[in-house]
Amino acid sequence: MAADAAQEWPPKQGDEAVLELASDWALSHGLVLRPPTSSTDAAYTRPGQSVIHAPYALYPSAFPRKLFQQAIDLQAAYNRLYADVTVDDAFLDQVIGGAVSKVDEFQGRLYDIWKQVKKEGIRQPLALGLFRSDYLVHAPADLPSSEHTIKQVEFNTISASFASLSTRVGELHRYLEASGIYPAHPQLSHAALPENGALAGLASGLAAAHKAYGNDKAVVMMVTQDNERNAFDQWPLAHELLRTHGVRLVRVPFSELRTTLTLSPAPVHNLLYQPPTLIGSLPSPLEISVVYWRTAYAPTDYYTPREWDTRLLVEQSRAIKCPSVGMQLAGAKKVQQVLADPKWLERFVADERERAQLRESFTDLYPLDDSEEGRIALERAYKECDKFVLKPQREGGGNNVYRGDIPTFLDRLDEEDKAKAATTASADQQTGPRGREGYILMSLIESPRDMEQVLVKAGEARGTRARVISELGIYGVVLLREDVDGTAAAARGGNRAELLVNETVGHLLRTKPVESDEGGVATGYSVIDSPLLVSP
């Protein structure tokens, strides 16, 4: 959208009438969250008694049509790339098993489980990936809008959420446009508001994995955080699975699995779930075909050591994992940084044109190790910190370190290294990798800052008009088969997964105030949005 047109959208008045209609639509169509409630509140024993609308943008946000299509077109290649990383044991051993697993306890625990299961022998070679690749528009001030590009923020391999609620927000905006309550605008039309297949697409991926498992009487298990507020992004997947595919899904809090999961006797190792109470006419225990993790991506999700035991038990079973622990490791930020190196990307992507397309979407990423590149990056992190963000190996938002906070944070890591060294050797001797090697340095993406939006936070009756930035996510589905002995991969040229499914299925737009660095919806930084596709 040209600069003058951008200033005209969204409209400067009429918000109250749109808000009233939008709020009622949201509540009547499941665009909702559970309200914040203390876990000690007795009323929380029945959490379904009240809801508030989820955070949403009152108007669709202008997004360049060309860049939206570019992100869509890239997803199949990204799906393939991360599937191949998942099955490349030597690569994960080198990239995660080196410094990262030694300085990041959480990644180290995941890596140890992966190594143990590999040593015991993979009991389920199939793995399901419900991926999401996130992008920002890169719009340096010295470039015209026709030369703006998209740059990847991150690639999510576990718990890529908001497929359901993003689908709902797109429906909301198309309803408001069709109702005539939005004022006329030269680029506003139903055709400019793309349909979003994210909900149906992720459900189809779960159904494909369930079918590949080979037992129609088994059920899919979605594992959630305890006291999950975002249940209404999750339940629609269960409803879609049953309505469209005839597949049942049980939704279980992570902590409940400590006492309810077992394995059937060797050599089969089916994963069996014994519900605390009987579920209608379903057999007991239930055989699980697919374990869909909507938790387990942060240290705080492992409430006790028993959750780590549960994660290992699941990996040792014949159930299909979404994701497997190897696939979760493939989503580490360190992997993203290493793949930005041309020689490593060439290891996985043979086609020169495809490599060029992927590299065009990369921003600058640097290690913080003792290599020459790492030493240069460390110096720049101190001297040019305003150009960078420091990222740990974490998902879920709220974990990054930005700009002027970077030098102080790096100093603290250095002091922690010295304190650890003092307990094992002389105080001036550094043993093992440094703490900063668990982080990567990423150049900040220069997003357009001339867009406005009305942000309606969760449960609020009024919206807040603000200058905003939008982040686009593209959902992908992969069902892969990992070779137990490597012979089939060798026949395909090595380091290649066998893909039974590779699909691009929908999108998510999250919008936040320009002054906010973080972008998570669940953490309160962003609202869910949908794109208004425009031409420069």
Of these residues, 34, 123, 132, 496, which one is catalytic? 132
Of these residues, 30, 80, 101, 154, which one is catalytic? 154
Annotation says 396 is catalytic: yes
pLDDT at 342 (0 to 100): 95
What mean pLDDT do residues 257-264 have?
97
Is the Cβ–Cβ distance between 472 and 68 less than 8 Å?
A: yes
297 marked as binding residue: yes
- Rounded Cα distance, 141 and 291, in Å: 46
Check pLDDT > 50 for residue 42.
Answer: no
Annotation says 204 is catalytic: no
> pLDDT by residue (tens digit) across 284-336?
899 999 999 999 999 999 999 999 999 999 999 999 999 999 999 999 999 99
Three-state secondary-structure class, residue 465: strand
- Angle value at C-alpha 526, between 525 and 531, nearest 5 degrees: 165
270 marked as binding residue: no
16 marked as binding residue: no
456 marked as binding residue: no
- Rounded Cα distance, 381 and 437, in Å: 13
What mean pLDDT do residues 351-371 have?
97
What mean pLDDT do residues 378-407 have?
93
502 marked as binding residue: no
pLDDT at 48 (0 to 100): 57
Structure tokens at 88: 């490349």
Amino acid residing at 228: E
> pLDDT by residue (tens digit) across 119-136?
999 999 999 999 999 999
pLDDT at 281 (0 to 100): 84
- Say what the pTM is: 0.94
Determine what percent of the chain is predicted with pLDDT higher than 70.
92
The whole-chain average pLDDT of the chain stands at 92
Rg of the chain over CA atoms, in angstroms? 23
Amino acid residing at 51: V
Annotation says 161 is catalytic: yes
Three-state secondary-structure class, residue 251: strand
Of these residues, 65, 311, 321, 333, which one is catalytic? 333
Annotation says 154 is catalytic: yes
Q: Residue 243: CB partners within 8 Å, gap ≥ 6?
A: none
- Rounded Cα distance, 235 and 491, in Å: 41
pLDDT at 40 (0 to 100): 42
C-beta neighbour count of 288 within 10 angstroms:
26
Annotation says 119 is catalytic: no
442 marked as binding residue: yes
> pLDDT by residue (tens digit) across 142-157?
888 888 999 999 999 9
Of these residues, 133, 161, 164, 317, which one is catalytic? 161
Long-range contact set of residues 496-500: C-beta below 8 Å, sequence gap at least 24 = 496/84, 496/87, 497/80, 497/83, 497/84, 497/86, 497/87, 499/79, 499/80, 499/83, 500/126, 500/208, 500/212
154 marked as binding residue: yes
Q: Please, what's the b/e burial string for 225-258 (b: 16 or more CB within 10 A of its CB; e: otherwise)?
A: beebbbbbbbbbbbebbeeebebbbbbbebbbbe
227 marked as binding residue: no
Of these residues, 326, 510, 519, 530, which one is catalytic? 510
Is the Cβ–Cβ distance between 14 and 67 less than 8 Å?
A: no
Of these residues, 151, 318, 334, 391, which one is catalytic? 391
Structure tokens at 328: 């979760």
Annotation says 195 is catalytic: no
396 marked as binding residue: yes
Is the Cβ–Cβ distance between 308 and 106 less than 8 Å?
A: no
Q: Residue 89: CB partners within 8 Å, gap ≥ 6?
A: 118
Query: What's the chain's length in residues?
Result: 536
234 marked as binding residue: yes
Check pLDDT > 80 for residue 536.
Answer: no
What mean pLDDT do residues 189-215 have?
98
Annotation says 434 is catalytic: no
C-beta neighbour count of 277 within 10 angstroms:
5
Sorting pLDDT into bands at 50, 70 and 90, what band is 461?
confident
82 marked as binding residue: no
